Copies of this chain bind each other. A is one copy, B any other.
Amino acid sequence: MKKFIGIDIGGTNIKAGIVDESGRIVVKTSAETDFKKPYPEFVKDIYNICVGLTKKAGLSTADISGVGIGCPGTIWGDKGVIVYSNNLELENIPFVAEFKKNWDIPCAISNDANCAALGEATFGSGRGYENSIFITLGTGVGTGIVLNGKIWEGAHGAGAEGGHSVIVVDGEQCTCGRKGCWEAYASATGLIRETKRLMAENKDTLLHEAAKKQGKISARTSFDAAKQGDAAAKTLVNRYVEYVATGIVNLINFIRPDVIMIGGGVSNEGQYFIDMLQEYADKYNFGGSLNPSVPIKRAELLNDAGLVGAATLAMGMQ
């Protein structure tokens, strides 16, 4: 079975692994890397990680069929270029060309969330579907689009930013400069903001107890208190679900994918949460019950989605 290397570059460290054609991780590693070096050195570090991985797996570089890289920021996959990455303070880096100077092997790069979407679509909850949208509900709201089995990254790699879609004109300030983006409401950050507001207004809600138990106010706080029957927390959670589902239905009406996959921290609320989203989507999608339901599924690959997805990107070059 052919083997590929997937590299998931993050703001603080790099996860890397050898993944076989069935999506199984053969071996993985992680490393801190200094992004502030001149880029050829940074790329060389990544090459060295690849060599290390093959040794760890008892293989040689000749056993590897391709390398895929997921990187935060705007990545122009067709050109193999990191257009810019705020997190990594990189701009206009011809990554693939540079990598090939170290190792002449099929190599592809895309945005990290796009890679995660591709991994999840191919080997996770999107298995068997051709067209899917992957939504991560975490600090922000990330979206990845897979059409006909391939990442849709948009012109110059700048698309798939579905979190930055206004759902409340003149609403909450978003980090992107606009007001009322889906991300400002549907992210864990948005939920925590609303939880804090409610706690400041209402001293009687179980939210205070739930937060105390956890040692902090998190996205879980409201779900925990709601599950204990707290009315205020239930209203808060229902409102949050409505915000998340509103954005999902917007995407369904526009793209009508075969499946929607939900990842990120908030997806840990599990099937209880997914079921609420599905109910809303089935009710409010355009055409209602006249159109077949678009299934909403919880992501399966979790923290490995990026790494597996990066390797999947390389598989697509075969």
Contact of A288 among B83, B147, B177, B288 (CB under 8 A): B177
Do A253 and B131 have beta carbons less than 8 Å apart? Answer: no
A246 CB–B CB distance under 8 Å = yes
Chain B residue nearest in CB terms to A243 = B169
Do B166 and A169 have beta carbons less than 8 Å apart? Answer: no
Contact of A158 among B169, B171, B256 (CB under 8 A): B256
Contact of A178 among B83, B131, B249 (CB under 8 A): B249
Q: Number of copies of this chain in the oligomer?
A: 2
Residues from chain B with a CB closer than 8 A to the CB of A251 are 254
A295 → chain B closest CB, angstroms:
10
Chain A to chain B contacts (Cβ below 8 Å), 23 pairs = A74-B287, A74-B291, A83-B290, A84-B290, A131-B155, A143-B254, A153-B256, A156-B256, A156-B291, A156-B292, A159-B253, A159-B256, A162-B254, A166-B167, A166-B249, A166-B250, A167-B169, A168-B168, A169-B243, A176-B286, A178-B249, A251-B254, A254-B254
Binding site for B on A (CB under 8 A): 74, 83-84, 131, 143, 145, 147, 152-156, 158-162, 164-169, 171, 176-178, 242-243, 246, 249-251, 253-258, 284, 286-288, 290-292, 294
